[in-house]
Amino acid sequence: MSSSKTKNDWNDESTSEISVTLLPLSTEQTPSVLEMVQGPGAPRNYELHRPEYIVGRSVECDLPINSTDLSRRHVTLRRLPSGQFNLVDLQSRNGVFVNGVKVHSAVLHDGDSVQLGSVLFIFHEGRASS
């Protein structure tokens, strides 16, 4: 057997040094978004940065919507420890519909439709930083 090293010598335990370029690992945090697709001012996006929002007709709400279909305080959106948002109907007059189902509460997922009276939103789930 020859002692000279060849490229495919399986017995050669030496390692060549190379330069490694790391692929970018995104740690970017993107907020969840409530996209109003139907309603006053639509189209419009509401970015959800805070842990809790109250949506309703009252100007005192975190997300005031100027529509008489909505109760003054219609629904709350609260961030769970998992980072997901839980929506709870505040005993509104016209109810809350998620994907067409009248709900008391729902943990929202990407693409869910949320209807409050004639106002329609699409929920876009954000990405939390690790």
Q: Which residues bind another protein (CB under 8 A)?
A: 84, 86, 89, 98-107, 109
- Tell the smallest beta-carbon distance from residue 19 to another protein (Å): 34
The residue (of 109 and 127) whose beta carbon lies closer to another protein is: 109
- Tell the smallest beta-carbon distance from residue 41 to another protein (Å): 29
The residue (of 38 and 99) whose beta carbon lies closer to another protein is: 99
Residue with tokens 């709400």: 61
Residue with tokens 């106002």: 119
Sheet holding 44-48, edge to edge: 44-48, 32-38, 119-124, 113-116, 96-98, 101-103
- Tell the smallest beta-carbon distance from residue 128 to another protein (Å): 14
Q: Measure the CA angle with vertex 63, ends 67 and 102; round to 5°.
A: 65
The residue (of 64 and 79) whose beta carbon lies closer to another protein is: 79
The residue (of 39 and 53) whose beta carbon lies closer to another protein is: 53
CA atoms within 13 A on the CB side of 16: 5
**CA–CA dist 75, 53 (Å, integer):** 8
- Tell the smallest beta-carbon distance from residue 100 to another protein (Å): 8
